[in-house]
């Protein structure tokens, strides 16, 4: 899966990494319909730079961050909060880290452009702004 033509460094907090690795390990132990997304998430985690929650830049998408995205094909602006699978509710704007777009967002920054394969084809998005990031707000353990 390709995100962009220019490789970018992605960032993840050590707290998010620990929880996401637990999610990956739990999924690997059982059979899940999200196995392809789990593999993609695992690849993203392997290339991420791990930082302390207090040291993560405020424009990086972390777990429980709320972001404003622009669909580069339609021009539509979307707002999503990136959450763990049990908290996902698309109607409420909460997208699972295991959804293709959720996996695409983790660790990227405001201004980044992302191309990601979703069930309907290639989705091209730009992260307009991180509207809320728990770490920037001092909420280190959400």
Fold of 11-132: Chitinase A; domain 3 (3.10.50)
pLDDT at 128 over 90: yes
Beta-carbon contacts of 26 under 8 Å, excluding residues fewer than 6 positions away, are none
- Whether the CB-CB separation of 73 and 124 falls below 8 Å is answered with yes
pLDDT at 1 over 60: no
Q: What's the mean per-residue pLDDT of the chain? A: 86
Longest C-alpha distance within the chain, in Å? 40
Extract the tokens encoding 64.
């429980």
Q: Where are the domains of the chain?
A: 11-132
Model confidence, pTM: 0.84
- State the average pLDDT over residues 113-141: 88
- Whether the CB-CB separation of 68 and 116 falls below 8 Å is answered with no
């Amino acid at each position: 899966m390709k995100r962009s033509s220019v490789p970018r460094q992605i960032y993840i907090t050590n707290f998010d990494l620990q929880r996401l690795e637990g999610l990956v390990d739990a999924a690997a132990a059982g059979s899940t319909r999200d196995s392809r997304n789990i593999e993609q998430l695992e690849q993203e985690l392997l290339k991420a730079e791990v930082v302390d929650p207090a040291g993560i830049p405020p424009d990086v998408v972390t777990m429980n961050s709320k972001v404003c995205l622009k669909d580069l094909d339609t021009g539509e602006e979307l707002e999503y909060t990136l959450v763990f699978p049990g908290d996902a509710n698309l109607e409420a704007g909460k997208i699972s880290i295991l959804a293709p777009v959720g996996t695409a967002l983790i660790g990227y920054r405001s201004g980044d452009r992302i191309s990601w394969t979703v069930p309907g084809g290639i989705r091209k998005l730009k992260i307009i702004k991180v509207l809320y990031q728990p770490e920037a707000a001092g909420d280190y353990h959400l």
